[in-house]
Structure 1
């Protein structure tokens, strides 16, 4: 158990509450070799970072398609198939979110997510409307692990780092939070996070199952 009991739990979304694996989707659609060639030739992940900073995905994908006509159909797939890449939900993580809220624990989101794509995701996944406060990078204009996004959450919740338990699947995002004194859990599956919530006194073992 941590030396100080946190007061709130902060969830990342991609690969914590919803699977996010564009490579898997492209592998299934165009094959592994062609997907690797595409990702080597076109910076789709860099484009997605710009979406997460607030840019319009439709405009960016069309611009990249025009610049890379040999990959135009595959680039447009990023926009057209986005929800298929951001799926499925991770049911055990969703249960943890809801059980925390059921016990009156403040639960927030801190996620790199576009403005339009978060709207799409909220329409598909009702639990994304259940946070006390969602801190979404597209609306904030800054992405993890930039220190500013952590400051924004602290300011927006009135919580200090020691009062926050934050889970994220990316080590760089976790490291940035830990540097601000946040309590952190590197998410590698819902079972591990469930055990952390039990160890820290948020949930019982039955509640975390």
Structure 2
């Protein structure tokens, strides 16, 4: 007998809102090959994830500018133009989340996000205020797929892991949730999400 799902947890970036650093950087660094080099060697994924873990932008920028002083302007452009990296919501998956909330289901969010940019996103995208609550990695100094962040979220919101389903676009983050004893599905689009939820007894 499988446990009934009572808690639904959404990731945010690339599940509810679009995220793409290339959007402002196609203007900042017009040459595609140079831009690719810049993201591979300067403002890397590993560098950015530390802001999600709680490092300040000031510290993050200073670190890179010390290593690449000639690229100071391009480095500072990351935070300066961050708002352009999140240009729109995924209306179809947002509507699934809103429908679940309207039906009275328990919906929360768990996201790798810097504290300050998350607050900006909440102002721009008011639906991010609709779930019962959110765990923001930058607020607590933990990031997915570390099992500790899922355990912290479950404790904070009194979730039964066996009765919880998590939705994330990143496979490692899905695996992290499963390692914490949750059910988890890999998000690739709203239609697949509907069928994944239905397979767990949740029809939307």
Say yes or no: TM over 0.5. Answer: yes
Kindly indicate whether the alpha-carbon contact (under 8 Å) linking 1:11 and 1:168 is maintained by their aligned counterparts in 2: yes
Unaligned runs of 5+ in 2: none
Distance between the aligned counterparts of 1:91 and 1:62, measured in 2? 37
Does the residue aligned with 2:110 lie in a helix, a strand or coil? strand
1:7 aligns with 2:30: no
Q: How many residues align?
A: 203
C-alpha displacement at 1:25, in angstroms?
A: 4.1
Structure 1 stretches (4+) deviating beyond 4 angstroms? none
Kindly indicate whether the alpha-carbon contact (under 8 Å) linking 2:43 and 2:75 is maintained by their aligned counterparts in 1: no
Q: Please, what TM-score do these two structures have when normalized by structure 1?
A: 0.90
- Cα distance per residue 1:30-53 (max 9 Å; x no partner): 232111121233143222111111
Matches within 5 A, 1:14-93: 14-27=13-26, 29-30=28-29, 31-93=31-93
Unaligned runs of 5+ in 1: none
C-alpha displacement at 1:28, in angstroms?
A: 5.2
1:165 aligns with 2:165: yes
Identify if the C-alpha distance between structure 1 residues 29 and 195 changes in structure 2 by more than 3 Å, giving closer, same or farther: farther
C-alpha displacement at 1:200, in angstroms?
A: 2.7
Kindly indicate whether the alpha-carbon contact (under 8 Å) linking 1:16 and 1:169 is maintained by their aligned counterparts in 2: yes
C-alpha displacement at 1:70, in angstroms?
A: 2.2
